[in-house]
Structure 1
Amino acid sequence: MRRPRRQATPRQPHRGSAPNRDAAPRRRPQRTRGGGALDAWLLNHARALLFSLGKLYRNASSSAMTVAVIGIALALPSGLYVVLQNLHSVVGGLDQGVQISLFLKRSVDNEALQTLSRKLDTWPEVSRTQAITPAQGLAEFRKYSGFGNTLDALGSNPLPPVIVVYPKLQGGDSAHVEALQKRLQQLPEVDEARLDLAWVQRLYAIVDIAQRAVWVIGGMLGIAVLLVVGNTIRLDILNRRQEIEVAKLIGATDAFIRRPFLYGGLWLGLLGGILALLLVSLAIALLAGPVQHLSGLYASSFTLNGLDGASSLRLLGLSVLLGLGGSWLAVGRHLRDIEPS
């Protein structure tokens, strides 16, 4: 008879030996619920962002026309803004020519004339002064008038001493210049203080009207951009009506359905703003040469400046906001009307 075999018993690990790593399951680090929700939220937004960009790429022809309309609509007020900024720089140089002519009494000699001129230079309202003696005034008048023989027939010099005062004028603020004129008129040495400021006031009034016109045109074209983006998103919603109904049947929320359309408006606004910047830069490049040639004919160093970095960022931000606003209005209005039947 065969003896029954002993069943093999599992060996017990030695007390000093290392424990079996496979015997105890590993504990995987668990993510917190808040971190997982944030990751899912970011992932959904990234997918919607890329999905909306891909949809614009698949409908390249219609998307390009919409972006072109937005770019042109934004380029028009942006170009007018550039023209207005350059006009401000030109006017800022012209107002330096504003001057107050002080006709002094004939009893004021040359030494008193220079003393008064140096005194006026210390006034905070005065940029600089120029003293003109009667002899200098007569020589200048003889040079530019052409009446040299007539002046020789005069027995004495009829011109009084003059001080030309250049006030500090910034931004078309002429009230303090008029106050300075009245203050100069009260000086005992002054016979008459004459100020010619009407042309500067008219020029600044024209610039103010142009600035308001730019804001009005910009506001109207901004509304046009809202309507263009809203109509584009509305057509997209109508084309995807059945898809939206199916998504609502399986439990998709309005926020989930709205997300790709909002990002579509964002992309349209951003691309339209970039196109507007390119159009404005192209226009500045085409006009820079003729403007520089014209300024050279007037012995001026004026150059045409375009949009700076801050203005470009503001334009892009405004275009993105207009795109989001137009898409939000369209989605909020038409998405409520689509319900699964």
Structure 2
Amino acid sequence: MARNSQPKSKPAVNSARARRIATSTLAAPAQGWASAHARCLLESLGRLHRRWLASLLTAMVIGIALALPTGLYVFMNNLDTLSQSWQRAVQASLYLSDDVDNERGQALADTIGARDNVAETHFISAQAGLEQFRESSGFGAALDALDDNPLPSVIVVTPRPDMPRAGVGELLVDLESQSGVERAELDQAWLARLYAILSVIERSAWVIGLLLSAAVLFIVGNTIRLDIENRREEIEVMKLLGASDAFIRRPFLYSGFWYGLIGAVLGLILLGICFLALGKPLGELTRSYDGALELHGLSFKGVMTVLATGVTLGWAGCVLTVNRRLAAIEPR
């Protein structure tokens, strides 16, 4: 029995050893690839550090190019928040017919206030409206000379804050058709102009962002082109020794990565400095609107988007240049 049990363990041992050898064989190229890329990543950073002033200037230009459209985006978001608070302040005035008494007017206001798309209603009788006008206008003596009250009863309707602009217009048409309502008014022309301004700012941010993105591509591409020309003899020697284009191209690609990343970080720093510098006047603007405007900077997602955009533009600008320039360099 002992002789029969020993041969059975050998295949298991051999199988385990084969799996370890196969795993190490497959892991070795992956580890070599990762170490090669990590080495190129650090070497490219070291090259930028050795000429830190020129690299900083290039990264600063990239940072400014990224900060401008990002700043417009933040400004537009804060202004949009303000417009939403103004949207909540929009009210419709329903002027009632002369034959509608106070009891019927209050009942109509309660009926309208029970709607799902209406936040609240407030009934103002003709006499109460006259008293309010007397206090605000200062024409008390002239009003006393009138035989009748010229003002109608009014129902002030406040739509729900989350109602879209088109829904507010439809609500106004519906309320005007109610029995006892002679005329309905909603001063929304200023709000429409505000939304038009916001649309222009949004389009401008996209246009400026695209133009500055193209500028970043040219800046990175020109910087990498100069770097390739400065290392032309080194590249020729590397090609004579049999180095592939992928091997030669790798450090330049990582240089584009670092230019984009550092530029994005500098852009975020510039944006934060501008936000702090404008904090006081924007705070005064907030207080002038009863605190309706709450300032917000970039969210975590926005910060990650700026960093990813910078890295992508730096990498893309490098790719557009390095392939063409390396193909033109041949050993003599």
Which of 129, 132, 146 is 2:138 aligned to? 146
Greater helix fraction, Structure 1 or Structure 2: 2
Shift of 1:158: 2.6
Match of 1:319 in 2: 310
8 Å contact kept, 1:291–1:303: no
CA offset at residue 46 of structure 1? 0.5
Answer yes or no: is the 8 Å Cα contact 1:284–1:304 preserved in 2. no
The reply on whether 1:115 has 2:104 as its aligned counterpart is: no
Matched, 1:328 2:313: no
Per mean C-alpha deviation after superposition, the further-off stretch among 82-91 and 153-162 is 153-162
Distance 1:338 1:245 in 2: 7
Q: C-alpha displacement at 1:170, in angstroms?
A: 5.3
Q: 1:37 aligns with which of 29, 40, 43?
A: 29
Deviation at 1:297, TM superposition (A): 4.3
**Residue matched to 1:236:** 227
1:192 Cα offset (Å): 0.9
Tell me the alpha carbon deviations over residues 258-298 of structure 1, each in whole angstroms, 9 at most, x when there is no partner.
11111100000000000000001001101101221243345
Q: Which shifted more, 308-317 or 122-131? A: 122-131
- Residue identity opposite 2:42 in structure 1: L
Question: Displacement, 1:137?
Answer: 0.8
Counterpart of 1:280 in structure 2 is: 271
TM-score (norm 1): 0.87
Measured after TM superposition, the shift of residue 155 of structure 1 is 2.8
The sequence identity of aligned pairs, in percent, is: 46
Q: Which residue, out of 196, 199, 206, partners 1:215?
A: 206
TM-score (structure 2 length as normaliser)? 0.89
CA-CA distance at 1:95 after TM superposition:
1.7
User: How much has 1:244 moved relative to structure 2?
Assistant: 1.4
Q: 1:297 to 1:192 in 2, by over 3 A?
A: closer
Q: Which amino acid aligns with 1:237?
A: I
Q: 1:132 maps to which residue?
A: 124
Q: Describe the shift of the 1:255–1:302 C-alpha distance in structure 2 as closer, same or farther (beyond 3 A).
A: same
Rg bigger for which structure? 1
Residue identity opposite 1:284 in structure 2: F
Q: Which residue among 44, 50, 53 is the counterpart of 1:52? A: 44
Q: 1:110–1:133: 8 Å Cα contact kept in structure 2?
A: yes
- Could you tell me whether the CA contact under 8 Å between 2:85 and 2:292 is conserved in 1? no
Q: Across the two proteins, how many residue pairs are aligned to each other?
A: 314
Local SS of the residue matching 2:328: coil
Give the aligned residue type for 2:24: T
Q: Which moved more, 1:261-270 or 1:91-100?
A: 91-100
Give the Cα separation in 1 of the matches to 2:193 and 2:267: 33
What letter is aligned with 2:322? V
Q: Contact 1:284 / 1:305 at 8 angstroms: preserved in 2?
A: no
In structure 2, how many angstroms separate the alpha carbons of the residues matched to 1:110 and 1:289? 49
The equivalent of 1:175 in structure 2 is: 166
Q: 2:118–2:157: 8 Å Cα contact kept in structure 1? A: yes
Question: In the alignment, what sits opposite 2:83?
Answer: 91
Instruction: Find the residue that maps to 2:218 and give its secondary structure.
Output: helix
CA distance in 2, matches of 1:82, 1:298: 19
Find out whether 1:193 has 2:197 as its counterpart. no
Of 72, 75, 82, the match for 1:80:
72
**1:242 to partner: Cα distance:** 1.6
